[in-house]
Amino acid sequence: MKSSKEFACRFPGCSASYRRKEHLSRHEAQHIQQQSFTCSICGRSFGRNDTLRRHLRRKHGVSEPIHRVRKACANCRSIKSRCDGGSPCSECLRRKIHCPLIRPDGATGGDSPGQSPSQSIPFPAKPYGPEKSRHFLELYFELLHPHWPFVHRGSFNANNESPLLVQSMIVIGLWASEEQSAQSAAIDLHKTLDSSIRQQKEKWDVSIAEVAYSSGSWPIPLYQALLNHIIFCIMHKRRPSLGLDLKPSLPSGDLELLVSLVQSCRRLGMFYFPNVLARFLPDDHAPYVWVSVEEVKRFNLALFKVCRALSGYSRQDGNGKECGVIGATSWRLAASDLQFPMPKNDPLWNAFGREEWVSAVTEDVLHTSLDDIKEGEWISNSAELLRFAGA
């Protein structure tokens, strides 16, 4: 005989209840999974279809979701931008880049096998099958993540993430395995990714764009991939170059990637907490908002740590002033640039699975306020103390 006891969902705004606890567990797990309902007008994603419909009514005056195109091009998918499915799509035309929906023979369709999201360059194939790939991703989270925790493990799904991000993580996992053949594969894959990153520069480098909007879509997965790529540039050299301060120094070509990344984040306003909060609506799912906000904060801090780890030699002109991309001070992050609070609740950020999440979740996570910018807690307010302490 079935028990009449009801197990109610503990997430705010959800009235679901079940007679069996395992059914409730399956339901609650969906609350913390990656959102899957995407607005075809502005590209925002939502965890539930009814939330998407409410967004469409309030923001765009549309009563029903617009039918999605059958196949969005990889360029638009990688930055979560709206794709009209044209041949080529309007977004690729605007960016003046090759649209993968046009095949070399002039026909339309999806991405050609083995082709990159842009420029028709070879995109790196997975070095191993699914099982091996999962193994190297686990090594990434086991060995690198404790030191550089800017990818959220609890919601990470390799099948849904940007291929560039996934493979940048596999590169580090391959290297961390300390197997000679795997490390050779890591270097080969790293070189191919490097070619892809540089040839797609127009897509992610807003430091050279005419206009950059803080309210627009932020290509967080691409920037996470870039940061992984730069970290590996530092890691894999057996005899890293050292500056006079005994800090590692990147070759100018790799350092230029870091310069572009920092300047892009600066132009998008990613270091300013009100801009981070402005990307969400009051009725957005609270755990999703918390994870997304923490992801930006932790990415920003990891980028800051990388900048501080590098010597950043100056190049001077005849008057003793710094000049050139490599020596320019505008890209160097200081604690005073970090206008956001420190990340909080490490156990929740590192929670893997429903039970760990439920045990670590706190009331402030379930009731995230988008109006409280917490200016008194900004890292920039402690910049002078950090500078004095040499942090």
Judge if pTM exceeds 0.75: no
When pLDDT is cut at 50, 70 and 90, the band that residue 250 belongs to is confident
Q: Residue 145 contacts by C-beta under 8 Å, 6 or more apart in sequence?
A: 151, 153
Non-local (6+) Cβ contacts of 30 within 8 A are: 47
Cα 383 to Cα 222, 243, 377, distances in angstroms: 28, 24, 11
pLDDT reported for residue 5 = 64
Checking if the pLDDT of 101 tops 70, the result is: no
Contact 63, 56 (CB under 8 A): yes
Residue 148 pLDDT: 93
Residue 30 or 50, more confident: 50
pLDDT of res. 3: 47
**CATH number for domain 65-99, candidates 1.10.340.30, 4.10.240.10, 3.90.228.20, 1.25.40.20:** 4.10.240.10
Checking if the pLDDT of 244 tops 60, the result is no
- Quote the pLDDT of residue 218: 86
pLDDT tens, position by position, 180-210: 888 899 998 999 889 888 887 887 888 877 7
The predicted pLDDT at position 10 comes to 63
Q: Pinpoint the residues of the chain covered by CATH 4.10.240.10.
A: 65-99
**Predicted pLDDT at 340:** 95
In angstroms, rounded to a whole number, what is the distance separating the alpha carbons of residues 352 and 38? 25
Mean pLDDT of the chain: 74
Q: What is the pLDDT of residue 262?
A: 93
